[in-house]
Chains A and B, each alone.
Chain A
Amino acid sequence: MATLRVYPTRWLPPNHAGVRYTCLMDTLIFGLFAVVAFLIIRGGSRLVVIGGWALATVAAFLLFLHHVTSVLPLNF
């Protein structure tokens, strides 16, 4: 699977390929959803809630698209 390397850092432990990455897409998207949920609970403005929610949902869908670039193993 293709990986994207951005901002390598020294303080992070290396991954299985021996490379140090700083960003984690799934974790970030869950974090964004958590922030949106917190804003909703704390009575954040409607515009901010919708904006944050839309950003998180689009990010989740783009992550889904990233994982479905392969051709389905179907043969009829």
Chain B
Amino acid sequence: MNERPLLRVLGFWAQILFIAAYLGILSTAMFVFQFGFGEMPCPLCIVQRMAMIAATLGAVYIVVQTLRGTLTTPRYLTGLGMALVGAIVGATMSPRQIELHILPGDPGYGTAIMGLHLYTWALITFVVVALFVGVVLMFGTALEPVAPTGRAGRTIAWVIVWAFFATIVLNMVVVFVEEGFNWFLPDDPTGYELLRQLGITR
């Protein structure tokens, strides 16, 4: 019996694609929109980033367990459950921000991409994740991942996993600079509070 059927190999790379997609989305939000365009993320943007991270950690869990050779069906289901719950949590957050700007004539918050603002795209990604988990579950254990045998495949997988970890840490540092020594972010942030508190900017 073939222990590496094509579907199980595809299952592994589908989880890697899941992580890489949110890695790209979170990096674009930070490096392009926040640092590039100077658009400060509001508190609702930040909690949606957290939901994206929560969902993606499910895929990270599956990939790491696979690479370590310790993936079992219960652990596989744990990872899928984490991804689904994270997506549902995020899908309850995004509509709130969409509704804040739903009135005709409201320009929305931040730059739009293809006519949709980032919080609308965030909702779309959460729905896509929920659909992805649903489709994967329909296949039962047929898509339960197997690790790549080649060194290149394993290296790519570990690089993406560690890059996602670095993204979480970077988000933590950036939100600390934005929040400063306060309990919460202001509703409409206009600058980096920590730099103001330290007297670096006004």
Contacts and interface: CB of A to CB of B under 8 A. Distances in A.
A57 B165 CA distance: 16
A27 B102 contact: no
B156 interface: no
Contacts of A3: 182-184
Given A16-B193, A73-B103, A26 B85 contact: no
Main secondary structure of the interface of B (DSSP, over half): helix
B24 interface: no
Interface in A1-55: 1, 3-5, 12-16, 20-27, 29-31, 33-34, 36-38, 40-41, 43, 46, 49-50, 53
Most A CB within 10 A of own CB, among B51, B99, B184: B184
A46 B187 CA distance: 37
Contact of B75 (A5, A46, A63): A46
A41 B193 contact: no
Contacts of A23: 183
A74 B164 contact: no
A71 B175 CA distance: 26
Main secondary structure of the interface of A (DSSP, over half): helix
B53 A64 contact: no
A53 B59 CA distance: 13
A31 B164 contact: no
Chain B: interface residue count, which band? 35 or more
B123 interface: no
Contact of A1 (B165, B175, B176, B184): B184
Interface residues of A, number: 44
B183 A33 contact: no
Contact of B70 (A13, A43, A53): A43
25 contacts: A3-B183, A15-B182, A22-B181, A24-B179, A24-B180, A24-B183, A25-B183, A26-B43, A26-B184, A27-B176, A30-B169, A40-B60, A40-B61, A40-B64, A50-B82, A57-B85, A60-B89, A61-B92, A63-B43, A64-B47, A64-B96, A67-B43, A68-B44, A72-B99, A74-B103
- The 10 tightest CB contacts between A and B, nearest first, are A30-B172, A60-B50, A27-B176, A64-B47, A13-B197, A57-B54, A67-B43, A34-B168, A26-B175, A37-B165
Interface of B: 43-44, 46-47, 50-51, 53-54, 57, 60-61, 64, 68, 70, 75, 78, 82, 85-86, 89, 92-93, 96, 99-100, 102-103, 161-162, 164-165, 168-169, 171-172, 175-176, 179-187, 193, 196-199
